[in-house]
Structure 1
Amino acid sequence: MDDLIDDPRPGANEPEFSVAEISGAVKKTLEGTFGRIRVRGEVGRVFRARSGHLYFDVKDDRAVLASVVWKGQIPALSVVPEEGLEVVATGKLTTFGSQSKYQLTVDEVQVAGEGALLAMLEKRRRQLGAEGLFDDARKKPLPFLPDVIGVVTSPQGAVIRDILHRLRDRFPRHVLIWPVAVQGKNCAPEVSRAIRGFDAIRPGGPVPRPDLVIVARGGGSIEDLWGFNEEAVVRAAHDCTIPLISAVGHETDTTLIDHAADRRAPTPTAAAEMAVPVRADLAAHVATLGMRQGRALIGLTRARRQRLGDVARALPRADRLLDRPRTRLDRSADRLPQALRARAGTARLALSRLSARAGPQALRTRLARARGRLDGLATRLDRAPAARLDRARAALDRHALPRPAQLLDRPRFRFRQTASRLTAVPLLRRMDRDGDRLRAALARLSRAARVRQDRLSDRLAALDRLRRSLGHAATLERGYAVVRGDDAVVTTAKAAGAAATLEIEFADGRVKAGGPGGGGARRAATKAKAPEQGSLF
């Protein structure tokens, strides 16, 4: 009976559970009790895993709650958790059974209060400013009169109407509108894509490239304007190569895109006024410039006319300018008949003298004198060809030309054929022409010989340079060496081991060393002269 009553094992009436059963029961109890909850606290450690999931802690002064945002839910967050930021995280509380831990699966993160947003904004402003995104040196000037204006804003609302109305009043321009969401979680990605999309348009394509971009939105709270404080929007504005005007909110509203833009406008209407000038003002200015130009031209013409009148008064009259030439002409006309009569008398006297000298006896005397001169020229002509031939042969010999006498065979033959029937004067002319041709031929031959000699000299110099560059002396100058053993060039390690002595030749000398087969290790440096650079011939 005692055996039936007494239980030798304490606690044997308590139920037994497996680890998996305990983990499942805890998870079911935890999820059933809390369900979907909102937790407020400060963001602690933030870690993004290689898989893309975002892990962070939500803590207060007494406890820490592990939280996770899955990879697919991160783009839907309106605020990405940052360390030190006070947030309200919304999600489901669940357990991580394999490690007996629990965590909050977050699907929405909101900043807890405007003060936290301002603190986060100031922190982000300092971070981006340290990277140089807000430097004034990189800001681009706005074009004076853009042809195409791109506007990034919501297609509904008063903002786009105000911009188009102001542009139409001041100076109508071609406007491209890129519709985006101006608040909410889609605001930042759509605005950044719109700015980069305008910047990616190439000139000359089907869609005109804007000369100016305006990012506009009406006023609102800091939460409504938070999309324009996102880092993606600020970097897109900084990277945009097109001048950009930020017109987000009213004059008292300030966002980070205002610092990154090239110009900040207090309102969207003011942005349109910055974009284009007033057409009426430009027309009035042009008209004023035209009037000033006309007055200046009239004044210049009047001054030139006055100057011309002053110069004309200083010149003498035309009658006075012609007085002296007219007087000189009258005097010459008076002397002309007397001068003609004197000239005619002088010519008549000269003709009488020539008539006296042109008698038959004078002509016979002159003819005899000319015949004597002709006989002397004929005698000299008999001796001239031989002398000229000798001089030509000597000149050709000096220039080392082959068979110079052949150059004169044909002229000599022609001379012998025509010498008997040529008078002295044509023969002399023919000899002068032949001499000229001979001298020209000799000059051409001399030039040809010089050209050929220069060409051969250049070729000889090139071959000599090639010989020097391919020689072993030039190779030694580049750092190589020649190894000789037993008066022969050694090219292998085996031949070097068998040599009694080794001699190494460098560019600046030779070194002798005992070879491996010689039994000694002695070295002597000898000064080697560079091989003489000789000619190829």
Structure 2
Amino acid sequence: MKLMSETAESTQAANSNLPELTVSELSQAVKRSVETNFDRVRVRGELGRVMIAKSGHLYVDLKDANATISTVMFRLEAQKLNFKPEEGLEVVAEGKLSTFPGRSQYQLICDRMAPAGAGALLAQLEKLKARLQAEGLFARERKKPIPYLPQTIGVVTSPTGAVIRDILHRLRERFPRRVIIWPVLVQGPEAAGQVARAIKGFNALQGRDRPDVLIVARGGGSIEDLWAFNEEAVVRAAAESQIPLISAVGHETDTTLIDYASDLRAPTPTAAAERAVPVRSELIERVTSADGRLKNGLVRGLERRRTELRAAAGKLPRLETLFQIPQQRFDRAAERLNAALVANTRAAQSKLDRVAARLRPEALVQDIARRHDHLVRTTARLQPAIKRTLEGHRKHLDGATRMLESLSHKSVLARGFVMVHRDDGTLVRAAKDLNAGDVIDLTFADDHKKAVIDPPADGAAKPKGKSTKPGGDQGQLF
């Protein structure tokens, strides 16, 4: 018991020499130690859990058969990835090791990530190819024909490389055409976006600046160098292009996904220029040869038809022979015509004689007398009815006349009344309608008289231009 008590006392005394740390202080110390000893590391492993947060940060588990490391890649670095992180893909991640005190775990803060070797890239490429092919982006019926002789050619490539020089040189040799270059990066994280935007930009052009055919070109390189032309954005832009597109990426043995989506694949950029235009000298030679064959064909055709015409003309009968039979028919018809005219005249004369024999004066007189008797009988039968009708109309007319006379103004005038009109013919209906000096027309039962209205007896002003004296041109009304 004494021994155990001494041991416990010695242990407590030893522990009392350690400094006391808070949890946060211990976590920060571990964090500094880890970041100092593992400042920069490269880790190869398989992607486990893959999650892209709303903030754009990428969270993955990097694992092998025995261990797992939580890995985070922040938004700016994650946007630069030229492949799509998927579970099961083997990658090489580069960054620094750190800790996350909130969960007491360590993690890899990654700023670079790439598929582990060409095998992983090819597997990813085949997977993307199968998905796009299932959508029909590589279907043969989507392919558009390349124009035989385009007026304007659009080229999407780097403006500083040997590719554009080879294309321009080959076009000048074969058939000079107008070329519009859309400069882009052909390698690196930003290359795919620039190539896709260039294809869409050419399709958005209108008028003379719109190319008739597009060439997307790049020189040879490794699968990593050419990876931009395997990106989904570039493949979709090529498939959706309304302008026929020729892909010329890499050397003859290099194949990228844009080759499947383009309307024509050229093994090299120089071959793309050859596919875009014909050889001008060969075209001139073909046109000249065709022109010669056309002229020779026309000459031979005319000569053959001339020979055929002569042969056909030789088989035709002579003009005199053609008219012999019609002439004989005409002579016979002329002979029969005279006899027919005589016979027709005699038949008409005989018919006239028969009709004239029936037209005797006695028959006409009898017919006239018969029609006269019929008229007399009809008149005698209708005369009483006509008289009754006329008498009825006469009585009706007399009654209307008497009514008209009773309503006429003349009967009123006959009783001593007078009808007054102004000098312009309008009827005067009331005395207030007249003014001094007005000329009026008085209509009596037997005649008309003119009169002038006198001024009032109180000496009011007399109308101008009117004489009211008893010896004037007009007499007084009363």
> What residue number does 2:221 align with?
220
Residues in 1 aligned to 2:23 and 2:380: alpha-carbon distance in whole angstroms: 145
Pair 1:166 & 2:166 matched: no
Question: What is the deviation of 1:293?
Answer: 3.5
Question: What is the deviation of 1:15?
Answer: 1.3
Q: Secondary structure at the match of 1:76?
A: coil
Residues in 2 aligned to 1:48 and 1:305: alpha-carbon distance in whole angstroms: 86
Question: What is the deviation of 1:23?
Answer: 1.2
Given the superposition, is the C-alpha separation of residues 377 and 157 from structure 1 closer, same or farther in structure 2, using an over 3 Å criterion?
farther
> What residue number does 1:424 align with?
none
Q: Secondary structure at the match of 1:98?
A: coil
The one-letter amino acid paired with 1:106 is C
Alpha carbons 1:144, 1:277 under 8 Å: kept: yes
> What residue number does 2:63 align with?
59
> What residue number does 1:93 align with?
97
Alpha carbons 1:237, 1:244 under 8 Å: kept: yes
Alignment gaps of 5+ in structure 1: 1-5, 386-411, 414-537
> What residue number does 2:431 align with?
none
> What residue number does 1:531 align with?
none
Residues in 1 aligned to 2:91 and 2:339: alpha-carbon distance in whole angstroms: 132
Given the superposition, is the C-alpha separation of residues 20 and 298 from structure 1 closer, same or farther in structure 2, using an over 3 Å criterion?
same
The equivalences for 1:94-173 within 5 A come to 94-173=98-177
The one-letter amino acid paired with 1:34 is F
The equivalences for 1:381-396 within 5 A come to none
Question: What is the deviation of 1:325?
Answer: 6.6
Residues in 2 aligned to 1:39 and 1:289: alpha-carbon distance in whole angstroms: 69
Question: What is the deviation of 1:377?
Answer: 7.1
Alpha carbons 1:150, 1:213 under 8 Å: kept: yes
Given the superposition, is the C-alpha separation of residues 321 and 260 from structure 1 closer, same or farther in structure 2, using an over 3 Å criterion?
closer
> What residue number does 2:295 align with?
294
Deviations, residues 359-402 of structure 1 (Å, cap 9, x unaligned): xxx996576356336536746986999xxxxxxxxxxxxxxxxx
> What residue number does 1:14 align with?
18
Alpha carbons 1:79, 1:109 under 8 Å: kept: no
**Among 21, 39, 49, which residue is 2:53 paired with?**
49
TM-score (norm 1): 0.58
Residues in 2 aligned to 1:102 and 1:40: alpha-carbon distance in whole angstroms: 17
> What residue number does 1:312 align with?
313
Most deviating of 53-62 and 138-147: 138-147
Q: Secondary structure at the match of 1:31?
A: helix
The one-letter amino acid paired with 1:105 is I
Residues in 1 aligned to 2:237 and 2:377: alpha-carbon distance in whole angstroms: 107
> What residue number does 2:87 align with?
83
Question: What is the deviation of 1:35?
Answer: 2.3
Pair 1:25 & 2:29 matched: yes
Residues in 2 aligned to 1:89 and 1:313: alpha-carbon distance in whole angstroms: 99
> What residue number does 2:73 align with?
69
> What residue number does 1:372 align with?
369
Question: What is the deviation of 1:123?
Answer: 4.2
Given the superposition, is the C-alpha separation of residues 370 and 304 from structure 1 closer, same or farther in structure 2, using an over 3 Å criterion?
farther
Given the superposition, is the C-alpha separation of residues 122 and 307 from structure 1 closer, same or farther in structure 2, using an over 3 Å criterion?
closer
Aligned residues: 369
Given the superposition, is the C-alpha separation of residues 302 and 251 from structure 1 closer, same or farther in structure 2, using an over 3 Å criterion?
same
> What residue number does 2:424 align with?
none
Question: What is the deviation of 1:183?
Answer: 0.7
Q: Secondary structure at the match of 2:255?
A: coil
Question: What is the deviation of 1:283?
Answer: 3.7
Alignment gaps of 5+ in structure 2: 1-8, 383-388, 391-478
Residues in 1 aligned to 2:380 and 2:155: alpha-carbon distance in whole angstroms: 109
Q: Secondary structure at the match of 2:79?
A: helix
Residues in 1 aligned to 2:339 and 2:85: alpha-carbon distance in whole angstroms: 127
**Among 190, 197, 202, which residue is 1:193 paired with?**
197
Given the superposition, is the C-alpha separation of residues 24 and 384 from structure 1 closer, same or farther in structure 2, using an over 3 Å criterion?
farther
Most deviating of 248-257 and 107-116: 107-116
Q: Secondary structure at the match of 2:59?
A: strand
Q: Secondary structure at the match of 1:46?
A: strand
Given the superposition, is the C-alpha separation of residues 370 and 217 from structure 1 closer, same or farther in structure 2, using an over 3 Å criterion?
same
Question: What is the deviation of 1:312?
Answer: 2.9
Question: What is the deviation of 1:139?
Answer: 3.1
Residues in 1 aligned to 2:84 and 2:339: alpha-carbon distance in whole angstroms: 125
Alpha carbons 1:148, 1:174 under 8 Å: kept: yes
Given the superposition, is the C-alpha separation of residues 333 and 60 from structure 1 closer, same or farther in structure 2, using an over 3 Å criterion?
closer
Question: What is the deviation of 1:306?
Answer: 3.2
Residues in 1 aligned to 2:71 and 2:111: alpha-carbon distance in whole angstroms: 10
> What residue number does 1:260 align with?
261
The one-letter amino acid paired with 2:145 is P
Residues in 2 aligned to 1:212 and 1:384: alpha-carbon distance in whole angstroms: 110
Given the superposition, is the C-alpha separation of residues 295 and 40 from structure 1 closer, same or farther in structure 2, using an over 3 Å criterion?
same
The one-letter amino acid paired with 2:22 is S
Pair 1:210 & 2:214 matched: no
Alpha carbons 1:188, 1:233 under 8 Å: kept: yes
Given the superposition, is the C-alpha separation of residues 294 and 366 from structure 1 closer, same or farther in structure 2, using an over 3 Å criterion?
farther
Q: Which has the higher contact order (CA 8 A, sep 6+)?
A: 2
Deviations, residues 397-419 of structure 1 (Å, cap 9, x unaligned): xxxxxxxxxxxxxxx99xxxxxx
Residues in 2 aligned to 1:18 and 1:383: alpha-carbon distance in whole angstroms: 157
The equivalences for 1:311-330 within 5 A come to 311-322=312-323
Given the superposition, is the C-alpha separation of residues 44 and 291 from structure 1 closer, same or farther in structure 2, using an over 3 Å criterion?
same
Residues in 2 aligned to 1:190 and 1:48: alpha-carbon distance in whole angstroms: 24
Alpha carbons 1:171, 1:278 under 8 Å: kept: yes
Residues in 2 aligned to 1:285 and 1:12: alpha-carbon distance in whole angstroms: 105
Alpha carbons 1:58, 1:66 under 8 Å: kept: yes
Residues in 2 aligned to 1:263 and 1:381: alpha-carbon distance in whole angstroms: 111
> What residue number does 1:431 align with?
none
Residues in 2 aligned to 1:310 and 1:180: alpha-carbon distance in whole angstroms: 73
Residues in 1 aligned to 2:123 and 2:337: alpha-carbon distance in whole angstroms: 118
Residues in 1 aligned to 2:378 and 2:191: alpha-carbon distance in whole angstroms: 117
Residues in 2 aligned to 1:211 and 1:232: alpha-carbon distance in whole angstroms: 22
TM-score (norm 2): 0.64
> What residue number does 1:467 align with?
none
Residues in 2 aligned to 1:250 and 1:166: alpha-carbon distance in whole angstroms: 17
Alpha carbons 1:134, 1:259 under 8 Å: kept: yes
Question: % of aligned pairs identical?
Answer: 54
Larger Rg: 2
Residues in 1 aligned to 2:340 and 2:11: alpha-carbon distance in whole angstroms: 179
Question: What is the deviation of 1:186?
Answer: 1.2
Given the superposition, is the C-alpha separation of residues 20 and 307 from structure 1 closer, same or farther in structure 2, using an over 3 Å criterion?
same
